[in-house]
């Protein structure tokens, strides 16, 4: 269970978000600059809200009244960045090694690395540098890094937008099954209603820092209440049949 109720003044908008989720993957849709990425950064502890509170399961991550503000290192939240943010001076393997949860000793941690490299099928690229592998492979490494860190919750920040259309759905399919396998709840941020349809049951639509619609994805698509969502659906080249067949 993740509870988020935060306010933060940004350059030109006031971010004012309030939601609770226990979904497998909750969708957060909005145009660029709507505040959706900032919301994730606040949850991860990278940015500090002006006020409010954030709770994960029974842990308070942030509470402006009680002056609680856990460091990102202590929040146990995995963050998948849009450009994957792999450490460019480290090999694929080293990227994963440094991310293994610190509770494991050396031998256990080596085993974790081995397991995840096999699970995600990246053995052949383990000695390469991040700039030598494809976008899809980079995402796999980024996911591997998060999994060995064993977070309690995942934040997915437009993870497919750096991939070309051809790859996008394959990678989405892969990510969906991985999330299911590791059994972690997640928030998925995107501007694509198609991706939300594929990955999420429910979604929140954000515009200019505020929630404008919240519903099951099916209802959002069939019966959009706001013009913004109507436009989103209209221009999405929507073929639910194709997505269902993935």
Q: Which stretch binds another protein (CB under 8 A): 55-63, 146-154, 207-215, 225-233?
A: 146-154
Which phi and psi angles does 6 have, rounded to 5°? -135, 155
Q: Does 81 bind another protein (CB under 8 A)?
A: yes
The residues pairing with 189 across neighbouring beta strands, listed in sequence order, are 28, 157
Q: Partners of 59 in the beta sheet?
A: 56
d(CA 156, CA 78): 8
Nearer to another protein, 15 or 148 (CB): 148
Among 28, 29, 38, 77, binds another protein (CB under 8 A): 77
1, 14, 46, 68: which one contacts another protein (CB under 8 A)? 46
Is 99 a residue that touches another protein (CB under 8 A)?
yes
Q: Is residue 245 a contact point for another protein (CB under 8 A)? A: no
**Residue 83 touching another protein (CB under 8 A):** yes
Among 192, 196, 153, which residue's Cα sits nearest to residue 176? 196
Among positions 194-233, residues that touch another protein (CB under 8 A) are none
Please say whether the dihedral angle defined by the alpha carbons of residues 20, 23, 29 and 34, taken in this order, is positive or negative.
positive
Please, what is the minimum distance in Å from the beta carbon of residue 242 to another protein? Answer: 32
Q: Which of 19, 69, 72, 152 binds another protein (CB under 8 A)?
A: 72
Among 69, 97, 101, 215, binds another protein (CB under 8 A): 101
Cβ neighbours, 10 Å, residue 239: 10
Of 94 and 208, CB closest to another protein: 94
Q: Does 79 bind another protein (CB under 8 A)?
A: yes
Rounded distance between C-alpha atoms, residue 49 and residue 135, angstroms: 32
Site for another protein in 151-180 (CB under 8 A): 151
In terms of Cβ atoms closer than 10 Å to its own Cβ (0-12, 13-18, 19+), residue 157 is buried
b/e code 119-134 from CB counts within 10 Å (16+ = b): ebebeebbeebbeebe
Torsion of CA 242, 24, 61, 73, to 10 degrees: -70
Q: Does 67 bind another protein (CB under 8 A)?
A: no
Beta-bridge partners for 168 = none
Shortest distance, position 194 Cβ to another protein, whole Å: 25
Min. distance of Cβ 70 from another protein in angstroms?
11
Chain residues that interact with another protein, rule: CB under 8 A: 41, 44-46, 71-73, 75, 77-79, 81, 83, 85-89, 98-99, 101-102, 129, 145-146, 149, 151
């Amino acid at each position: 269970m993740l509870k988020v109720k935060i306010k933060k003044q940004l350059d030109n908008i006031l971010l004012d978000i309030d939601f609770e989720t226990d979904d497998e993957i909750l969708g957060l849709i909005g145009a660029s600059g709507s505040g959706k990425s900032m919301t994730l950064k606040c949850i991860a502890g990278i940015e500090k809200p002006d006020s409010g509170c954030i709770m994960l399961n029974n842990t308070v991550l942030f509470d402006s009244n009680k002056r609680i503000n856990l460091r990102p290192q202590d929040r146990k939240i995995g963050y998948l960045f849009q450009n994957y943010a792999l450490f460019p001076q480290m090999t694929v393997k080293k990227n994963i090694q440094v991310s293994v949860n610190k509770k494991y000793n050396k031998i256990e941690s080596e085993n974790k690395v081995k397991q995840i490299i096999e699970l995600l099928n990246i053995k052949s690229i383990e000695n390469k540098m991040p700039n030598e592998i494809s976008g899809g492979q980079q995402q796999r490494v980024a996911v591997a890094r998060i999994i060995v860190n064993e977070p309690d919750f995942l934040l997915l920040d437009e993870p497919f937008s750096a991939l070309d259309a051809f790859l996008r759905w394959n990678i989405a399919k892969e990510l969906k099954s991985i999330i299911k396998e590791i059994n972690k709840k997640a928030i998925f941020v995107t501007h694509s209603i198609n991706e939300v349809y594929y990955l999420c049951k429910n979604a929140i639509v954000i515009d200019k820092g505020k929630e404008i619609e919240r519903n099951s994805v099916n209802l959002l698509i069939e019966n959009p209440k706001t013009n913004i969502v109507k436009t989103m659906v209209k221009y999405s080249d929507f073929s639910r049949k194709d997505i269902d067949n993935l």
